[in-house]
Amino acid sequence: MSAQIIDGKKIATEIRHDLALKIKQLQKKHAISPGLAVIIIGDDPASQVYVRNKRNACEETGIKSIGYDLPVTTSQEELLSLIDKLNKDDAIDGILVQFPVPDHIDTETVIEAIHPGKDVDGFHPYNIGRLAVRLPALRSCTPYGVIKLLESTGEKFFGREALIVGASNHVGRPMALELLLAGCTVSISHRFTKDLEAWVRRSEIVVVAAGKPGLVKGEWIKPGATVIDIGINRTEDGKLTGDVNFDIARQNAAWITPVPGGVGPMTVATLMLNTIEAAMSRRNISL
């Protein structure tokens, strides 16, 4: 058996196409063009690529992207002041701060400074809390994108045993809440987990977000399982690889995401989706 590839790039393109049509409807019916403020601090090459991809997606879908490229010397107080200004700006529907930020800026303080209704990354404790009590508002982009990928397979959620490898605040934990909301029986492994292999072998859905290349061995994958690899790592020879041993895992799995081309494009697509949802929610309008 060889797994079917879940083509995140294709699915993201379809979502962005649908969103572009939706924005045209918003413009025609309500004279609204959603606005997204994108803040980047410093000139980290990887962050620059991510921001460029997000701005390109905005242009493609019809979202108005307002860029704030700040020097690495920007203080936390200056950043918080800008966020406060954007919170009060009615033309701005979403605020995105590209992480990581310089060491002298506290990430959680920045996240909590963004108004929950404009938190299109879905990182604010209010939005995570809404997901926890089964009343999702703006959802964390990467986990939300994974749900879209899983839905595309047509496989059921209810009762399936799902394992998330990695318990970060921005991916692992909200991913567990998303799968719980979908009806899975959910486990989370982390750096203190004993016998990761045993947990992987029993799981029907495996979502890996640890940032460690090859952490999950392909032979551990249960026959017929669905594997979502969120990890993206650059090897010494410059190639991108995930957290799962892909070549072997695809021989056991029924469905699997590639790296690159799997989860990454979906994160950008769901960011666009969140921005449109924020624009409509703030104005209490629908299509």
* Residues annotated catalytic, as ranges: 54, 98, 121
Secondary structure string (H, E, C) spanning 172-191:
HHHHHHHHHHHCCEEEEECC
Residue 169 CA to chain centroid, in angstroms? Answer: 12
Per-residue DSSP letters for the chain? --PEE--HHHHHHHHHHHHHHHHHHHHHHH----EEEEEEES--HHHHHHHHHHHHHHHHHT-EEEEEEE-TT--HHHHHHHHHHHHT-TT--EEEEPSSPPTTS-HHHHHHHS-GGG-TT--SHHHHHHHHTT--SSPPHHHHHHHHHHHHHT---TT-EEEEE---TTTHHHHHHHHHHHT-EEEEE-TT-S-HHHHHHH-SEEEE-S--TT-B-GGGSPTT-EEEE---EE-TTS-EE-SB-HHHHHHH-SEE--SSSSHHHHHHHHHHHHHHHHHHHHHT---
Long-range own/partner contacts, residues 50-59 (CB < 8 A, 24 or more apart):
50/98, 51/98, 53/268, 54/96, 54/268, 54/271, 57/16, 57/268, 57/269, 57/271, 57/272, 58/272, 58/275
